[in-house]
Amino acid sequence: MDADLLRKLISSIVLLDDAEWFQLLEYLEPKTLNKNNYFLKEGQICDSVAFITKGTLIYYKSLENGKETTTDFAFAGDWVTDNRSRLNNSPSFLNIKAIEDSELFVISNDNLNKCYSLIPKLEKLGRILIEQAFVKIAQQSIDLQTLSASERYEKLLCEYPQIFQKVPLYHIANYLGIAPKSLSRIRKG
């Protein structure tokens, strides 16, 4: 599994020398998730963070009526975790599932904390990633309340141009808070 994408992303935030990089690599576990396999199931406590080198994962909530609500996507170059569950050591409200064969580098919370001690620069990386995740969630909330369905669609398309090649339309419609038929009309419009 190729770690170049991970090193490039980390280097855009903090610079690790070769010794620090190889030390971090010792704590990262390469993992393959086949399509429809889970990184995290609702009710489990999230005990790790992963970096996607290949593939696509979705975050979704199972509803009592048997339907699902898609809450987010993660593509190659993204981090994946449930921070609420992980940081509170509480059961997850979400599922995180591969929707295509995916490759990840996974680090457990325990090993992440060891790395924070061994490589102090990684604490800055962790803080910045948490801040980015918070800003993303806050912006999603604002967008759902202030943008029209068409505007949310256009924004999603600008931010994730590959989304329609990677993610089934019903997940995209669900994420946008609209019916699949409405998404079809918007796309034709």
| pLDDT tens per residue across span 117-148 | 999 999 999 999 999 999 999 999 999 899 99
Give SS3 for 178.
coil
Q: Summarize pLDDT for 146-185 with one digit per residue, the tens.
A: 999 899 999 999 999 889 899 998 899 999 988 888 888 8
Amino acid code (one letter) for 156: L
What's the pLDDT at 106?
98
- How far is Cα 118 from Cα 48, in angstroms, rounded to an integer? 18
In the sheet where 56-62 sits, what is the strand order? Answer: 38-40, 95-98, 56-62, 68-75
What's the pLDDT at 180?
86
Confidence band of 66 (pLDDT split at 50, 70, 90): confident
Confidence band of 112 (pLDDT split at 50, 70, 90): very high
The domains located in the chain, with CATH, are 4-121 (2.60.120.10)
Residue 189: pLDDT over 80: no
Q: Summarize pLDDT for 7-41 with one digit per residue, the tens.
A: 999 999 999 999 999 999 999 999 999 999 999 99
Give SS3 for 90.
coil
What's the pLDDT at 23?
97
Q: Are 101 and 32 in contact (CB under 8 A)?
A: yes
Ranges of beta strands (E only) in 29-90 are 29-33, 38-40, 48-54, 56-62, 68-75, 79-80
Max Cα separation, the chain? 54
For 153, residues 6+ apart whose C-beta sits below 8 A from its C-beta are 176, 183, 186, 187
Confidence band of 114 (pLDDT split at 50, 70, 90): very high
What's the pLDDT at 28?
97
Distance of alpha carbon 172 from its chain centroid, rounded?
Answer: 15
For 63, residues 6+ apart whose C-beta sits below 8 A from its C-beta are 69
- How far is Cα 135 from Cα 151, in angstroms, rounded to an integer? 19
- What mean pLDDT value characterizes the chain? 94
What's the pLDDT at 113?
96
What's the pLDDT at 179?
87
Residue 2: pLDDT over 90: no
